[in-house]
Amino acid sequence: MSKTPDSPALVVLRALFELAEVDVRPSRALVQGLLDLDDPTFDACITQLRQRGMLARDGLTMTMVGLAIATALPPFEPRPMGSRMVVLAHAA
């Protein structure tokens, strides 16, 4: 197993950093919505980040290691909500 989290986990880490930077307390639903991640993928990302000491064991709080890594990552871009918008359009 690699010591470095895979790319989606690093995107989650950077998203948490950017939300904290603008004084937004990130929630699971907020991060999942911004990144268009399903539950299993989000859980896997959080588990990877916690195992490598980048997130606290409870909640979505970054450790000093996570903060140092997140600042070196490129900014994240929220993903379009394509599939959800189609479903909402058909429901209306």
Q: For the chain, 92 residues long, give each residue's pLDDT as a single digit of tens.
A: 445 566 899 999 999 999 999 999 999 999 999 999 999 999 999 999 999 999 999 989 999 999 999 999 988 776 666 555 544 454 55
How many domains, the chain?
A: 1
Q: What does the DSSP assignment read for 49-68?
A: HHHTTSB-SSTT-B-HHHHH
Q: Is residue 65 part of a domain?
A: yes
DSSP character at residue 92: -
CATH at 37: 1.10.10.10
Q: Is residue 2 part of a domain?
A: no
| Parent domain of 62 | 7-91
Q: Record the pTM.
A: 0.77
Q: Is residue 15 part of a domain?
A: yes
d(CA 52, CA 28): 19
